[in-house]
């Protein structure tokens, strides 16, 4: 029996050949024959000038039927490349993944199982942040929570995940997003808004556009290891206004203007980002790298704990 592929893993990348190698190895090392029949990996290279193409070529040799590689003729900026990579996705679900984040070693098996069981519109996969690529995440029973409209999902966040780190991962971290291709592209192609073109969180504008009657799944396992303090944002004040634009779009299009739990979530996200930006603008002006300074490292981890 021929199995039809269902999952397109979409990776936008730029000048991170070594990190991308680790990401791709993490994907294909967990692929048995059954999983290989159900996935594809799609890479959009934003005109890298390092050895990204060489890294990808080694995987194309082994997995040419499961891997697409596209290189932009010019750099179109990271936010547009996040959207660009999804345009090549062929299958039922888009699974966004940054080129410096990686999957836990059971993530694909569990995601495909949840797809089979639920036919969800949107999954927001569990994440754990770390700078340690050797981190081991415990594999638990493949359980998950299902919400049939965004109001239920907001209540769940408020009651179970009301911390800055958890909330900001849901509303800015695209590596946790697994979404129906049809839902994603329907809104993208409608051209109702061009806000995502200039926003640092373009996926938020699209994914959260209208979830009033969409099935949302939150797994209880961790599926993604996220690299902390990602320098690709640039740590500019524009991040704050972009996040506010995202939050306002989510609020308006999902009729959350009078939802008090949503207001609390929104405030925590924006306030937390403001604190983080202020800290990193200060460190940047002082030309200090927290990783090379023991005192600052202690302050950072204390600060991170405080935000939680």
The 3-state secondary structure of the chain, one letter per residue? CCCCCCEEEEEEECCCHHHHHHHHHHHHCCCCHHHHCCEEEEEEECCCCCCHHHHHHHHHHHHCCCEEEEECCCCCCHHHHHHHHHHCCCCCEEEECCCCCEECCCHHHHHHHHHHHHCCCEEECEEEECCCCCCCCCCCCCCEEEECCHHHHHHHHHHHCCCHHHHHHHHHCHHHEEEEHHHHHHHHHHCCCCHHHCCCCHHHHHHCCCCCCCCEEEECCEEEEECCCCHHHCCCCHHHHHHHHHHHHHHHHCCCCCCHHHHHHHHHHHHHHHHHHHHHHHHHHCCCCHHHCHHHHHHHHHHHHHHC
pLDDT tens-digit profile of 47-100?
999 999 999 999 999 999 999 999 999 999 998 999 999 999 999 999 999 999
Is this model's pTM higher than 0.85 or not?
yes
Identify the weakest region by mean pLDDT among 88-102, 114-128, 200-214: 200-214
pLDDT tens-digit profile of 131-186?
776 778 899 999 999 999 999 999 999 998 777 777 878 888 899 999 999 999 88
Identify the weakest region by mean pLDDT among 11-15, 80-84, 192-196, 202-206: 192-196
User: Region 27-51: what's the mean pLDDT?
Assistant: 96
User: Region 115-135: what's the mean pLDDT?
Assistant: 87
Please report, rounded to a whole number, the percentage of residues in the chain having pLDDT higher than 90: 57
User: Region 251-277: what's the mean pLDDT?
Assistant: 88
Average pLDDT, the chain: 86
């Amino acid at each position: 029996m021929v199995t039809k592929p269902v999952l397109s893993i979409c990776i936008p990348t730029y000048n991170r050949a070594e990190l991308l190698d680790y990401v791709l190895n993490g994907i294909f090392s967990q692929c048995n024959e059954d999983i290989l029949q159900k996935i594809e990996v799609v890479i959009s290279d934003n005109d890298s000038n390092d050895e990204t193409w060489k890294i990808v070529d080694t995987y194309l040799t082994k997995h040419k039927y499961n891997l697409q590689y596209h290189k932009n003729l010019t750099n179109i900026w990271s936010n547009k490349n996040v959207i660009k990579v999804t345009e090549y996705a062929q299958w039922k679900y888009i699974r966004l993944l940054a080129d410096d984040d990686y999957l836990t070693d059971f993530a694909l098996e569990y995601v495909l199982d949840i797809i089979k069981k639920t036919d969800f519109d949107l999954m927001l996969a569990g994440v754990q942040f770390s700078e340690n690529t050797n981190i081991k995440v415990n594999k638990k029973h493949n359980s998950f929570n299902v919400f049939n409209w965004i109001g239920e999902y907001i209540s769940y966040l408020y009651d179970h995940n009301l911390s800055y780190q958890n909330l900001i991962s849901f509303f800015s971290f695209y590596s946790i997003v697994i979404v129906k291709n049809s839902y994603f592209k329907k809104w993208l192609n409608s051209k109702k808004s061009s806000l995502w073109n200039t926003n640092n969180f373009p996926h938020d504008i699209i994914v959260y556009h209208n979830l009033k009657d969409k099935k949302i799944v939150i797994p209880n396992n961790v599926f993604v290891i996220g690299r902390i303090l990602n320098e690709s944002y640039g740590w500019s004040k524009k991040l704050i206004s972009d996040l506010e634009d995202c939050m306002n779009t989510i609020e308006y299009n999902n009729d959350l203007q009078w939802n008090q739990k949503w207001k609390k979530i929104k405030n925590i996200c924006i306030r937390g980002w403001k604190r983080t930006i202020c800290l990193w603008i200060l460190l940047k002006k002082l030309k200090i790298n927290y990783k090379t300074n023991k005192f600052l490292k202690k302050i950072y981890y204390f600060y991170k704990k405080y935000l939680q």
